[in-house]
Structure 1
């Protein structure tokens, strides 16, 4: 292959095609027409002597050769980007959109101060925050996100990635402030017999519920819902629940909750910041990571 005659834009197109596994979506990602992307796919097939993507039913499936080229091509593109970012990153003037994988809870309790101050500190920087669906690790590896904030206890493979600890958050027991069934503390018997609001994460029980199951703690579960609904569902009623302390402090804007130590010892969650080796030296990514680490250090 004569590299002098090769169009490096084909690498960008290849990366888009392998990310989306769709000519239409890849064209939308690169802001070009579908016919132009189809033509580019034809050029890639001729260049590599491989179909790259083949149709199986209603989906496009990658070939073994194209799959083997995904990481090398993405690594090459990242290195090319770094060549043009040697001057560093100036948040006061540079334009960039950063993608962050984080839960709504993390956005509300941790990222909110960064969001509020961004227009002053980095007026041309935009944030795109998306929840951690089941493919969060793959999305990070593919370069679809710059960083990810996630509990270390959830992400078993975090050691394969560069990462740093941001903060810990403990679980507290929350009841309505006017709940006469509970005083300034709660016993294990009360916890097991009073009507209970079980909390869940997207598609799975929360870490609090998993710990209670592991410890064999009985609950009189009346409702199962997300953390963000706790303030509204236990208000003016007899329900009790376990909730992250940071979230409880944020959502209890009218002092309608009473926060108590749980009657059993529960391990806190440890939120970590995760990125990829190829973005480790990227000045913009480094600025974002440093800003998040400083934000964690500044928060009580």
Structure 2
């Protein structure tokens, strides 16, 4: 008998028939009509080439073939039911898993770095690989090129994917500490007059959301240099009169490693919201859910910092 051609619902019906030994009661047990169960019994007889149940007085009696089937069928159904109800567990301290995360170097600094330090103690078997940003991050999730994406919603081509808000940030102007063309305040006139360093996602890709906003506001400026790395940009300001846009939460890190000043911008920028995205097929994966929760915890700690 070829199992691929067998409707497994027939085995559910056979188990009910052998247990109840009544077409009517078996039908009630699994939610079929009596004619429907009679039709199912006829299909079972053809499948096994055996009467299975024969009339005996007011009830039905199993044939020897049916009696031989009763135990294995009941065990098989119990095994299938158990497999369907069982949810695999994830033991972070012992299990091994590898995950890929697509995000900007800003997100690596703010989230992935602290997360890796945390996982080293809590989950030594978990490996994270940070990948550069994808031009179409939603597609990368769909085809399995990446497990998680950290991006603002404006970047995602499919905002209907499962997601979780991580944190908000705001844009600041960043200049070299020795820039003598700018005082303690970035005026709109100075912003227009200075040369600009911009950040993009790569060849042929869009500039940052902040630079897109500047273009929409029709603020005239002269872009002298563009770079892919958000974190590299402030270092390229050294010894220049250029200005760039950075995110405020990164300020303390940048000032510790680069000789820069952060100033309030002369125009209002929308708040940037970082979101965690994944594909629905990972929704119930315990290990995936565990990692998402750890990332969310690291993000929540950002709001607790002074």
Fold in common (TM above 0.5): yes
Give the Cα separation in 2 of the matches to 1:83 and 1:96.
23
Task: Tell me the equivalent position of 1:61.
Answer: none
CA separation of 1:275/1:129 partners in 2, compared to 1, >3 Å: closer, same or farther?
same
Aligned residues: 223
Deviations 1:229-287 (A, max 9, x none): 22221112211111122334323324511100000001121111111222111111110
SS of match in other structure, 1:113: helix
Is residue 98 from structure 1 mapped to residue 99 from structure 2 by the alignment? yes
Residue 83 of structure 1 and its aligned partner are, at CA, apart by 6.2
Alpha-carbon spacing, 1:241–1:287, altered in 2? closer, same or farther (3 Å): same
Residue of structure 2 in register with 1:185 after alignment: 185
Q: What RMSD over aligned residues (CA atoms) do the two structures have, in Å?
A: 2.2
Give the secondary structure class of the aligned counterpart of 1:253.
helix
Counterpart secondary structure, 2:112: helix
Pick closer, same or farther for the CA change 1:85–1:188 going to 2, 3 Å. Answer: farther
Q: Does the 8 Å contact 2:194/2:222 carry over to 1?
A: yes
Structure-2 residue corresponding to 1:127: 128
Q: After superposition, what is the alpha-carbon deviation per residue over 1:159-205, rounded to whole angstroms, capped at 9, x for unaligned?
A: x2111100112110001112121111111000001122122222221
For 1:103 and 1:221, locate their aligned partners in 2 and report how far apart those are by CA, in whole Å.
Answer: 22
Bigger radius of gyration, 1 or 2?
2
Deviations 1:114-137 (A, max 9, x none): 112211110111112212222421
Q: Which of the numbers 194, 206, 209 marks the counterpart of 2:208?
A: 206
Tell me what 2:67 maps to.
none
Counterparts of 1:63-82 in structure 2, within 5 Å, are: none
Structure 1 CA distance, aligned partners of 2:86 and 2:268?
48
> 1: distance between equivalents of 2:183 and 2:84?
62
Are 2:224 and 1:222 equivalent residues in the alignment?
Answer: yes
Query: 2:297 aligned with 1:282, yes or no?
Result: no
TM superposition score normalised by structure 1 = 0.69
**Structure 1: runs of 5+ lacking an equivalent:** 6-81
Aligned to 2:246: 243
Contact 1:166 1:296 in 2 (8 A): yes
Q: TM-score normalised to the size of structure 2?
A: 0.68
1:127-163 deviation per Cα after TM superposition (whole angstroms, max 9, x unaligned): 12212222421221123322211111211421x2111
**Does structure 2 conserve the Cα–Cα contact (< 8 Å) formed by 1:153 and 1:269?**
no
Q: Is the 8 A contact 1:109 1:250 kept in 2?
A: no
Instruction: Classify the secondary structure of the residue corresponding to 1:145.
Output: coil
Q: Displacement of 1:85 after TM fit? A: 7.4
Assess, with a 3 A threshold, how the Cα gap between structure 1 residues 174 and 274 changes in structure 2: closer, same or farther. same
